Amino acid sequence: MVLHPEAQAVIAASAAAGAMEPGELTPAEMREQFARTWRLPDNAEPVGNRFEQAIPGPGGELWIRVYQPAGAGPFPALVWFHGGGWVIGSLDENEATCRALCRRAGAVVVSVDYRLAPEHRFPAAAEDAYAAVCWVAAHGSELGVDPRRIAVGGESAGGNLATVAALMARDQNGPALALQLLASPVTAPPSDERPSYRDFGEGYFLSRASMDWFFQQYPREPADLRDPYLAPLLAPDLTGLPPALVLTAEYDPLRDEGEEYAHRLLSAGVPCELVRYDGQIHGFFALLTDQLSIATVAHDRAAAALCRAFGVRHVPQTT
């Protein structure tokens, strides 16, 4: 399918803004520049309550932002991780998506402000992600959460952390999880062996150069690139993981590794739904919600999958 006009507009606007390539700025400057480009969409969905608090983490306090549905709980929960290559991003950029999933799935969404590289290299973010999941399972009643119904999710590097948290939960006899919601997940280091990297590595919003830079910032050493808690596609065994919804975009360098991971899950006997959004680019689910109308469609599909996993009725809200 041809590139969607909205995606074309995003790419053109990014080029016109003269976005700096990785390496021209420090990670801290990249974060500042990234934060300046973000604003909350005018049509962000209302929720019953929204607040922040600190929870214990392996490296000190972790901050979470909690979105609660209207009404009386306990509610199921989605522990959410933002994208940004483990280097940039914050709780703010996924505000619209967290609100939408909270309202449409009737779930408490717990968005996690994990530690960022290179100040905190692998496995810091992964350990923070798993610690947050364990805390929600153990203390969820404080948030109105039913600890028997917890899912994990994220976009890009956040999708990586979601499935890594699921791997850790399986390996360490941790909380039983209801679903993995993985939007354009990072599952392996960049590779030209994948057609999506060759075809869409330049000029389609997320670049190969950016991914190479992120993979220079996060690992401590080359051996980390072979660790399944960084590159889950390299995990020798994916059996016993929770069901998954994997969402990919046609014009995304990460498309093929996300789809390969979905097929690996299916081969391991893990129920998995794979959806590719043709004509779309990276960030369609959580980062570019005010620019790509497909986000609303994807949110509704994700909410439906969450409702099935939680055993509740889903009422479509796509207009």
Q: pLDDT tens-digit profile of 288-316?
A: 999 999 999 999 999 999 999 999 877 67
Q: Which domain holds residue 17?
A: 5-310
Assess if residue 317 is contained within a domain.
no
Do 120 and 44 touch, CB atoms closer than 8 A?
no
Residue segments in the chain with a per-residue pLDDT below the cut of 50: 318-319
Could you tell me the two tokens for 105?
């799935």
Assess if residue 50 is contained within a domain.
yes
Helix, coil or strand: residue 107: coil
Total structural domains in the chain? 1
Q: What pLDDT shows up at residue 94?
A: 96
Q: What pLDDT shows up at residue 220?
A: 98
Distance CA 270, CA 144 (A): 29
Q: What pLDDT shows up at residue 21?
A: 67
Assess if residue 257 is contained within a domain.
yes
Could you tell me the two tokens for 124?
């810091």
Assess if residue 319 is contained within a domain.
no
Q: Please, which residues have CB within 8 angstroms of residue 91's CB and are 6 or more apart in sequence?
A: 52, 63, 65, 82, 111, 113
Assess if residue 276 is contained within a domain.
yes
Q: Please, which residues have CB within 8 angstroms of residue 30's CB and are 6 or more apart in sequence?
A: 20, 22, 87, 88
Across the beta sheet with 49-57, the strand order is: 49-57, 60-68, 108-113, 75-81, 145-155, 180-183, 244-249, 272-277
- Tell me the CATH number at 236: 3.40.50.1820
Assess if residue 316 is contained within a domain.
no
Report the alpha-carbon angle 62-157-115, nearest 5. 25
Distance CA 35, CA 13 (A): 16
Maximal C-alpha separation, the chain: 50
Q: What pLDDT shows up at residue 25?
A: 85
CA 293 from centre of chain: 18
Assess if residue 318 is contained within a domain.
no
Distance CA 53, CA 37 (A): 25
Assess if residue 267 is contained within a domain.
yes
pTM across the whole model? 0.96
Q: What pLDDT shows up at residue 143?
A: 96
Sequential DSSP letters for 148-205: EEEEEEEETHHHHHHHHHHHHHHHTT----S-EEEES---S---TTSHHHHHHSSSSS
Q: What pLDDT shows up at residue 319?
A: 43
Distance CA 183, CA 305 (A): 13
Q: What pLDDT shows up at residue 62?
A: 98
Question: Where in the sequence numbering do the catalytic residues fall?
Answer: 156, 252, 282
Q: What pLDDT shows up at residue 19?
A: 60
Of 12, 18, 16, nearest to 33 by C-alpha is: 18
